[in-house]
C-alpha cells in the first residue's frame, strides 16, 4: 500500500513539474512583463486545476483497484473461514484420529482422537514424531517405518499402513493409517497429515472369520454352498466347494462353480432319495439323504449329504449349504456286518435245529432202553450176576437220561427268551421242592431256616424258580460237609424295585479264587462226585437270566456257599 502511495505521489510530482515547465516556457514566449502578475496568477490557477484533475484521475483509478483487491481478499477470507469450519466439522464427525507432522521442525500434533480413541491425555502426548513411533507395536514398527520413509522420500505414490498402536492402558489397537504429503515450491515434503482409523473390531472379526473359515477349509467332510434358487427342477448352482470336496469328487473348485450338483449323479443314484432332495429344495426344507455319486473319473462312491437352507437377515433364502461325507467304506462295513449277522442267524438256527434233532435221536433209543428196563423190573430174575448187570445197566441208563433231560432243558431255555411270569408264593415253591427231595431230607435231616416275611410273593416263572431252588438245594445236600450238620438259610428281602433271595449253606464250598469264572459254566465240575454232571449251576444261571434276574456267588472252601438271586419285581 505504501509503495502505491509513493508511486502516486511521484507520478503526481513528475506530472506537476512537467506541467510547470511547459507553462513556464509558453509564458516566456507570449507574455510581456507588465501583465506578469496577472499571468502568473492565472498560470497558478490553471496549474492547480490541471494537476488537481490529473491527481483525481490517478486516485480514482487507484481507488477502483483497491476496491477490487479488497473484494478479492474478502472472498478469499470467506473461503478460508468456510474451509476451516468444514475441517472442524469433519474432524469432529470422523472417528479417525488425525495427526499433523511438520517434518523439518519435527513438530507433531494430534486431534481429540488421541484421547477419545487411545486414551492419552493432552499432557501425556509429546509434540514430536518419536512419541508416535514409540507407540507402534515392536513387531510392526520396522516394516511400518520403512514404508513411511520411502513415501516421504517420494519413492512411493500412496501411503497407508496397518499396525498395532499402543493405548494409554498398554493394550494394542489395530489401526489403519492413511496420510498425504504437503510439498514446498521445490517439491520437497514439508508436512504430512494422516488419519488413523481404529480397525480393531474389524481385525478381530476378520480373525474370527478366518478361524471359522478353517472349519470349512480344513474339514474332512465336503462342504458345498449353492445359490438359493434353482431352475428346471435342478439342484441350485454351486458357488463354493471346500478342498475336502475336491478330494472326494476329483473336481477342482473352478471346474464346478456355477454348475448344478446334478452332474454328480450316477446311473446308480438312488432316485427316490434324489426326489426327496428335490422336494426338500422346492419346499425350502432341510434334508438328509444317502445316494451314490460319480467322481470326475466316473467312479462311484456312496455319499451321505445334507442340504440346509440358509436365510439372510430379511428371512429370505439366500443360500444352501450341503455337507457331504463319503460313506463307501461305512456302507461296505455295514453290508459285511449284515451279511455276518445273516450268516450267524442262519448258523444259530441250524445249530438249534441240530440240537433238537440230536436230542431227539438220542432220546428215541434211550426211551426204549428205559421202557425195556421198566419191563424187566417186573420179571423175577434168579441169576444173581444177571441181576447185578441189569442193575448197573439200569443206573447208567437213568443217569444218561438225566443228563439228556438237563441238556434238553438248557436248549429249551436258550430257545425261549421270553417266558410267562406270575405271582408266586415262595413258601409254596419250597413245599413242592421239599416234597421232591423228601427222601434226601429225611436221610440227612438238614437244619433249614426259611424267612420270607419281608417278601412272600415274587413275580416269576413258577417252573423255573422251582427248578432253580431244586438245583440249589440238591447241591447243598450233595456237597455238605461231613464234619458238621448241614444248615441252610433262605431269606428274601426287597431293595428298591428288586427282590433279593439269599440262599446260604455251610457246605464244603467252592474255591472261587481258582474257579470264579467257571462256576456257572457248562460242564464245570468242582468236586469229584459220581453223580455230578456239571450242569446244575449252568442251568440255574440260564433260568435266572431268562427271567431277567441275576445270580451271584460267594463261597469259601469248607465254610459254605451263598447265592444271591436278584429279580425285578415288576413286569
Partner 1 sequence: MLDQILCIDDDPITLMLCKKVIIRSSFSNEIITSQNGEEALNFFNTIKYTNNKTNPITQPQLIFLDLNMPVMGGWEFLDYFNSTEFEEFNTIKVVVLTSTIDPEDLEKSKKYPMVIDFLSKPISQSMLEYLKDKLK
Instruction: Enumerate binding residues for partner 1 (CB under 8 A).
Output: 356, 359-360, 363-368, 370-372, 374-375, 378, 408, 411-412, 415-416
CB of 369 to partner 1, least distance (A): 8
Q: How far apart are CA 154 and CA 286, in angstroms?
A: 58
In angstroms, the Cα distances linking 21 to 7, 14, 29 are 21, 11, 13
Considering the complex, what minimum distance in angstroms separates the CB of residue 342 from partner 1? 22
Least CB distance to partner 1 at residue 469 (A): 23
Buried b (16+ CB within 10 A) or exposed e, 68-84: eeeeeeeeeeeeeeeee
Angle at which helix 36-93 crosses helix 2-30, to 10 degrees, equals 160
For residues 267 and 371, which CB has a smaller minimum distance to partner 1 in the complex?
371
Q: What is the DSSP letter of 226?
A: E
Tell me the three cell numbers of residue 71: 473484494
CB of 272 to partner 1, least distance (A): 39
Of 318, 87, 93, 333, nearest to 225 by C-alpha is: 318
Grid coordinates of 302: 456312496
Q: Could you tell me if 494 and 454 are in contact, meaning their C-beta atoms sit under 8 angstroms apart?
A: yes
Q: How far is the CB of 370 from partner 1 (least distance, A)?
A: 5
Task: Compute the distance between CA of residue 148 and CA of residue 127 in angstroms, rounded to an integer.
Answer: 19
Helix (H) and strand (E) counts in the chain? 16, 17
Shortest Cβ distance from residue 354 to partner 1 (Å)?
12
Q: Residue 461 CB, nearest distance to partner 1 (Å)?
A: 14
Query: β-strands 487-495, 447-451: how paired?
Result: parallel
Cβ atoms 426, 502 nearer than 8 A:
no
Instruction: Work out how close the CB of 382 gets to partner 1 at its nearest, in angstroms, rounded to a whole number.
Output: 21
User: 3-state DSSP call for residue 300?
Assistant: strand
136 by Cβ neighbours in 10 Å (0-12 / 13-18 / 19+) ranks as: buried
* Closer residue to partner 1, CB minimum distance, 20 or 370: 370
327 HSE (CA, 13 A, CB side): 14
Closest CB to partner 1 among 363 and 568? 363
Residues 225, 236: Cα–Cα separation, whole Å? 9
Q: Which is nearer to partner 1, 218 or 374 (CB)?
A: 374
Amino acid at each position: 500500500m505504501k509503495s502505491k502511495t509513493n508511486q502516486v505521489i511521484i507520478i503526481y510530482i513528475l506530472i506537476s513539474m512537467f506541467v510547470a515547465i511547459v507553462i513556464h516556457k509558453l509564458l516566456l514566449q507570449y507574455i510581456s512583463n507588465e501583465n506578469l502578475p496577472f499571468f502568473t496568477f492565472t498560470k497558478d490557477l490553471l496549474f492547480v486545476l490541471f494537476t488537481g484533475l490529473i491527481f483525481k484521475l490517478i486516485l480514482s483509478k487507484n481507488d477502483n483497484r483497491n476496491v477490487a483487491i479488497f473484494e478479492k481478499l474478502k472472498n478469499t477470507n470467506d473461503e478460508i473461514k468456510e474451509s476451516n469450519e468444514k475441517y472442524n466439522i469433519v474432524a469432529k464427525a470422523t472417528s479417525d484420529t488425525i495427526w499433523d507432522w511438520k517434518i523439518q521442525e519435527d513438530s507433531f500434533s494430534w486431534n481429540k482422537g488421541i484421547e477419545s480413541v487411545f486414551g492419552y491425555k493432552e499432557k501425556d502426548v509429546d509434540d514430536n514424531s518419536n512419541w508416535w513411533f514409540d507407540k507402534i507395536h515392536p513387531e510392526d514398527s520396522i516394516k511400518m517405518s520403512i514404508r513411511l520413509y520411502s513415501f516421504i522420500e517420494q519413492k512411493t505414490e500412496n501411503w497407508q499402513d496397518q499396525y498395532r498402536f499402543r493405548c494409554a492402558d498398554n493394550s494394542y489397537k489395530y489401526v489403519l493409517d492413511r496420510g498425504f504429503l504437503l510439498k514446498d515450491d521445490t517439491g520437497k515434503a514439508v508436512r504430512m497429515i494422516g488419519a488413523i482409523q481404529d480397525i480393531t473390531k474389524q481385525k478381530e472379526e476378520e480373525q474370527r472369520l478366518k478361524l471359522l473359515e478353517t472349519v470349512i477349509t480344513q474339514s474332512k467332510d465336503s462342504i458345498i454352498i449353492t445359490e438359493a434358487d434353482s431352475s428346471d427342477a435342478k439342484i441350485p448352482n454351486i458357488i463354493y466347494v471346500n478342498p475336502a470336496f475336491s478330494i472326494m469328487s476329483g473336481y477342482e473348485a473352478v471346474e464346478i462353480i456355477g454348475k448344478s450338483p446334478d452332474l454328480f449323479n450316477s446311473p446308480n443314484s438312488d432316485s427316490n432319495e434324489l426326489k426327496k432332495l428335490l422336494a426338500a429344495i422346492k419346499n425350502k426344507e432341510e434334508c438328509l439323504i444317502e445316494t451314490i455319486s460319480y467322481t470326475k473319473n466316473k467312479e462311484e462312491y456312496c455319499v451321505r449329504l445334507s442340504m440346509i437352507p440358509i436365510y439372510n437377515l430379511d428371512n429370505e433364502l439366500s443360500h444352501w449349504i450341503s455337507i457331504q461325507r463319503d460313506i463307501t467304506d461305512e456302507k461296505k462295513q455295514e453290508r459285511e456286518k449284515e451279511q455276518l449277522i445273516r450268516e450267524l442267524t442262519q448258523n444259530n438256527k441250524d445249530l438249534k435245529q441240530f440240537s433238537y434233532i440230536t436230542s431227539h435221536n438220542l432220546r428215541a433209543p434211550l426211551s426204549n432202553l428205559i421202557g425195556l428196563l421198566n419191563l424187566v423190573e417186573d420179571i423175577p430174575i434168579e441169576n444173581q450176576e444177571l441181576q447185578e448187570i441189569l442193575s448197573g445197566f439200569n443206573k447208567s441208563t437213568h443217569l444218561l437220561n438225566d443228563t439228556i433231560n438237563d441238556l434238553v432243558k438248557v436248549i429249551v431255555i436258550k430257545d425261549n427268551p421270553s417266558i410267562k411270569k406270575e405271582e408266586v408264593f415262595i413258601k409254596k415253591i419250597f413245599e413242592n421242592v421239599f416234597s421232591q427231595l423228601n427222601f434226601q431230607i429225611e436221610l440227612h435231616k438238614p437244619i433249614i431256616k426259611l424267612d420270607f416275611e419281608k417278601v412272600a410273593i415274587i413275580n416269576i416263572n413258577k417252573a423255573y424258580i422251582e427248578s432253580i431252588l431244586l438245583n440249589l438245594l440238591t447241591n447243598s445236600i450233595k456237597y455238605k460237609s461231613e464234619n458238621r450238620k448241614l444248615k441252610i438259610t433262605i431269606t428274601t428281602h426287597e431293595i428298591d424295585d428288586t427282590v433279593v433271595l439269599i440262599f446260604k449253606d455251610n457246605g464244603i464250598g467252592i474255591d472261587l479264587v481258582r474257579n470264579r469264572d467257571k462256576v456257572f459254566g457248562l460242564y464245570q465240575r468242582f468236586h469229584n462226585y459220581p453223580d455230578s454232571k456239571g450242569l446244575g449251576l449252568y442251568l440255574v444261571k440260564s433260568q435266572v437270566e431268562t427271567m431277567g434276574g441275576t445270580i451271584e456267588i460267594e463261597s469259601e472252601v469248607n465254610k459254605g456257599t451263598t447265592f444271591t438271586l436278584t429279580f425285578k419285581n415288576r413286569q
